[in-house]
């Protein structure tokens, strides 16, 4: 196995470990990772369209629609007509959705701190720099 393949496998393993920790946390609140991140994006930018949310989550519109329907059914968000474009809908958290999001986001923040506190400040900065470089390269390859 080449050095590049070993690095790729290490990055995948790190992703899976982080994702598993997230899934375990979110499941305690009856959320999946996609549902949590949808709430997170809508909380950060109330009034997002389905299309904008789809872009934020690297997810096709049919998957976003399914996620949104579930969150709407659970009373976490609502769709409202766009102010000037009657064909478009905007997404907003309800009071219940805001309360759930704030609770889970606080727990998620604590979980991130607990999982990454083993790295000192210099190691975190070095890793952040290297991952930003990698992500820039990957985005360029994906989007031409």
| pLDDT 10s digits, 47-75 | 999 999 999 998 888 999 999 999 999 99
- What are the Cα distances from residue 24, in Å, to 37, 41, 71, 111? 14, 20, 19, 11
Residue 81's pLDDT band, with cuts at 50, 70 and 90, is: confident
In a domain, 24, yes or no: yes
Domain that holds residue 58: 17-143
Burial 95-129 (b: 16+ CB within 10 A, else e): eebbebbeebeeebeebeeeeeeeeeeeeeeeeee
In a domain, 92, yes or no: yes
In a domain, 9, yes or no: no
- CATH number (domain holding residue 32): 1.10.10.10
In a domain, 130, yes or no: yes
| pLDDT 10s digits, 103-133 | 999 999 999 999 999 999 999 999 999 999 9
In a domain, 68, yes or no: yes
- Domains: count for the chain: 1
């Amino acid at each position: 196995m080449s050095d590049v393949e070993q690095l790729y496998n290490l990055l995948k393993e790190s992703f899976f470990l982080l994702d598993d920790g997230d899934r375990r946390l979110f499941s305690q609140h009856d959320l999946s990772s996609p549902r949590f991140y949808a709430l997170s994006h809508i909380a950060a930018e109330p009034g997002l369209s389905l299309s904008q949310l789809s872009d934020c989550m690297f997810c096709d519109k049919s998957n976003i629609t399914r996620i949104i329907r579930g969150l709407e059914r659970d009373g976490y968000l609502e769709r409202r007509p766009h102010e000037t474009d009657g064909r478009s809908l905007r997404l907003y958290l309800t009071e219940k959705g805001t309360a759930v999001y704030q609770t889970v986001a606080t727990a998620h923040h604590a979980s991130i701190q607990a999982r990454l506190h083993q790295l000192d400040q210099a190691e975190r900065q070095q890793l952040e720099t290297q991952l930003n470089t990698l992500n820039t390269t990957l985005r360029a390859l994906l989007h031409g």
